[in-house]
Chain A
């Protein structure tokens, strides 16, 4: 199994992004997903900037995949999407059927990201015929669902699973971060920049529940599947995704890498990783339970 680094879901400043990817070049990770997937108003980096980072990481031996928006509405967003799809150098992660249409029409291979609803083997088969090279398991599906998919997986298709990070749960036309600041969305003042780790939403009994990240809603608790490494290997998963967070992403990547290399015990390391998730972790979806629950430690 290889390790991948998912796209940065939050709105980080230009400096933060550039510094982050400079470090990533030296991390024990095989594949890096780059680009904006949440909001087209976030423009810390231009496409050319992203391409420069892609070149640097590629030279450092990483496979680079360019990620695209999950919610495509405006023509300007489609124009950017077409530019990314036609980059002629790197594989593209489609997070919407619009991207798959553009890529498949040109006979280009692609990764189907977690917001492409691939819930059954027949869907996988259809998309394989349309150029699918790799798919990411939708976050609400369980290991039982994955097992069935793996048994009927078309030859040559790789499977990727989100193994650590907050779960992307929903997308909206509304910007919840702007709303939380009493700002209208059309003059949001780019306030997501003030929350590089999103804005925690608590229930009225002070329990962290969700995280607001612009138009995206995430789980407050990241999923942590490190303890499931053996099962993931047995299921012939090809890649494990780690979703970036503003701090400790390096340590999280290192823990997974050490366990994969057989230098550390996944059970023990999984517990260590919880210190990087101060609100707690979850793994319910993996076990076919409500996503927010945590079962492994029980």
Chain B
């Protein structure tokens, strides 16, 4: 099983490579990728350095061009694809049908992965992308149960990659517009969710308030730790209750599911977090490398080590982890 780790910049890429990643994924410095954050990502020069660093150490490099262009900005996505093709990356991670079509026509030799942003949650959808664009691998949205992942693995025409660790999208990726509803910018159109430029913090008599373009996402008492105001992770009022109405600020952690995922034929496990620090990337990559090695050496004796859990909890969002939808009994 391949360990695919986030490379938000050159130091993170090196941290991933040095700590045991089999592959890293990166994006260019614009809205063509789903982590379009200030100060993040690669220009052409840095990308060349990163790819050189990874490849000389036997690590693959994937380029994410996984947002949705419109007629007015189409050329940016086309340029991103052309740059990536010239860099000799091992695969492109794509979501938009138009971009997939362009790559298939212009760069037919390139290996294509379907991004989680393409929202493919069933094998019929995967068959569509395989038939039309010859994708080799797909990353599944984080909404499927373990049984559903298994079912897809046994019916899919392409290899399957799943998320193993990191911030949790509770919505189907590629189909969540909450961010643009509040700010005008969404992962699909802009490559960012709840962008930092719209965030406002204010001390008030009611406590510390976080707002996103004026929308009150939460209010914190002195004793509470404030989290980033991602829209789906705020506290809201429904009926008489005030609570995390959509999702608690937790991280996904599937260490305990590793034997199952390997057994069902998942080919790669993805670590989320291109926006996180090189220290995060180093820590998470190191733990997952150890876990994967242990599991692959002896799957029946595999057991999650408490030292792994503790190390991951330190870097998890909200310092809590969950199995997310994987543990869901209901279909």
Which residues does A use to contact B, with CB under 8 Å?
A: 40, 70-78, 81, 96-102, 104, 115, 117-123, 125-127, 130, 139-141, 144-145, 148-149, 151-152, 167, 169-174, 176, 179-180, 184-186, 199-207, 209-210, 212, 217, 219, 284-285, 288-292
Contact = CB atoms under 8 A, between A and B. Distances in A.
Contacts of A200: 238
B215 A203 contact: yes
A169 B181 contact: yes
A130 B102 CA distance: 16
Interface in B86-110: 95-99, 101-102
Interface of B: 68-72, 74, 95-99, 101-102, 118-125, 127-129, 131-132, 142-145, 148, 151, 170-172, 174-178, 180-184, 186, 188-189, 213, 215-219, 232, 234-239, 241-242, 245-247, 325, 328-331
The 6 closest A-B pairs by CB, nearest first: A122-B98, A148-B71, A186-B330, A173-B143, A98-B124, A101-B128
A172 B181 contact: no
A290 B171 contact: no
Nearest to A168: B177
B98 A121 contact: yes
Contact of B182 (A101, A127, A201, A290): A290
B329 to A, nearest CB: 5
A73 B144 contact: yes
Contacts, number: 220
A199 B238 contact: yes
Contact of A145 (B70, B125, B219, B239): B70
Nearest to B213: A290
B170 A173 contact: yes
B246 A140 contact: no
Contacts of A184: 330
Contact of A140 (B125, B172, B188, B217): B188
Contacts of A104: 128
A172 B184 contact: no
B284 to A, nearest CB: 23
Given A97-B125, A120-B98, A167-B177, 14 more contacts: A97-B128, A101-B124, A117-B118, A120-B70, A171-B171, A171-B176, A172-B143, A172-B246, A173-B144, A173-B328, A174-B170, A202-B237, A210-B236, A217-B178
B238 A289 contact: no
A199 B330 CA distance: 22
